[in-house]
Amino acid sequence: MSEPLLASGDRLGPYRVDSPLGAGGMGEVYRAFDTRLGRPVAVKILSGRRAHDADRLHRFEQETRVVASLSHANVLALHDVGSQDGVDYAVFELLEGQTLRQRMESGPVPISKAVDYGVQMCQGLAAVHARGIVHRDLKPDNVFVTRSGQVKILDFGLAKLGSRGPGLLEGGSDARTLTEPGLLVGTCGYMAPEQARGRPADARSDIFSLGAVLYELLSGRRAFTGQTPADTLAALLTQDPPDISAISRPVPRGLERVVRRCLERSPEERFQSARDVAFGLQAVSEAGVSSPLRRAGTVTWPVALLALAGVA
C-alpha cells in the first residue's frame, strides 16, 4: 500500500481516523471511530487521481446510492456519506472476519458451511434484486464472512440499476449502468456468458456468478480458468466445468445439480431467482447435509463488526 492519504487522528466530520485497512482501485479504507455514536466504523475515500477521475467518482457515488437503498443483514450497511476539504468519503459498518477468497486460502470449506454461505448469499441477492439492482461482480473477493459466520455482500461499484433501482442524481434520469452497451462488466471466470458477450445483465446473471462461487467453495478450484483472460472467457462461453465429485471430494448429487443449474449458459435454463436457489440448497440440506442453516427469508443473528466495500 502506498503512503496513505490520512493519518491516525485525522478527522473527517465526526469520524476520527485510527488506522488504514487497505487500498484498491476505488480508493482507500480506514478503521475509524464515530465520535457521535461511540462506535467503530470503516471509512472509504477516493484519493489522489481517483478523486478527479469522472468514472471512478461516478462509481463511488453509485455504490453509495445503491447500498443506501438496501437494508439487509447479508448486505454491507452504509452509515453515512460526506465531503471535507475536497475528500469524498463513505462510512460503512466495520466487520471482523475475512472474505470468501481468504477463507478458501486457509483450507477446504466444509460442505455444510458452503451450503450455509450459499443460502445467505441468496438471501442478500434476493433483497438486492427486489430493489431492481443487479450486482454484476459477485465473486469470492466480494463476499465477506464475519467471525460469527454471517455473510455480507460487498462492492456495488459495478451494479446495474433497473427501473426500480435508486437514481444517481436529482431528476431520476440516471437509473442506468456505468458502461456503454457492448462493454464487458464483471470479472473473468465469474461473469455470466451474457455479460461476457456484452449483453444486458439481469438477476439471472448474478445467479450464474453465485454458481461459480459455490463451485469454487465446494471443489477448491475455479469453475472456469485459462492461461489468459481471453482463454478464461472462452472456457466460460464454451465449456462445462468438471463434476465437483470427479475433481475434488464427493458432494451430494442434489447439491451438484443445484450448482450445475446455476451455471447453465442460457439464462432461461438457470434458476430464475435467488430465492429459488436458496430453496434448492435448503432441500439438499434437509436431504442429508447436516448444517445449522439459516432458513431462507429469515435472519436472526446479530450484525458483526468489520469489512469494506470495493477494496480488492
54-76: b (≥16 Cβ within 10 Å) or e: eebeebbbbbbbbbebbebbbbb
H-only helix segments in 159-220: 193-196, 203-219
The conformation of residue 180, written as its DSSP 8-state character, comes to: -
Beta carbons of 76 and 152 less than 8 angstroms apart: yes
Beta carbons of 225 and 242 less than 8 angstroms apart: no
Instruction: Give the chain's radius of gyration (CA, Å).
Output: 19
- The phi-psi region of residue 159 (left if phi > 0; otherwise alpha if psi is between -120 and 50; otherwise beta) is beta
Give bridge partners of residue 28 from the DSSP assignment: 23, 45
Query: Residue 298 and residue 237: Cα distance in Å, rounded?
Result: 36
The C-alpha cell that represents 145 in the structure block: 464472512
Sign of CA dihedral 66, 72, 75, 79: positive
Give the active site residue among 137, 141, 155, 276.
137
Four-CA torsion 22, 102, 131, 198, nearest 10 degrees: 90
Is residue 137 flagged as an active site residue? yes
Length of the chain: 312
SS3 248: coil
**Residue 276: count of CB within 10 angstroms of its CB:** 18
Q: Is 130 exposed, middle or buried (0-12, 13-18, 19+ CB in 10 A)?
A: middle
Residue type for 229, please?
P
Give the catalytic positions in this structure.
137
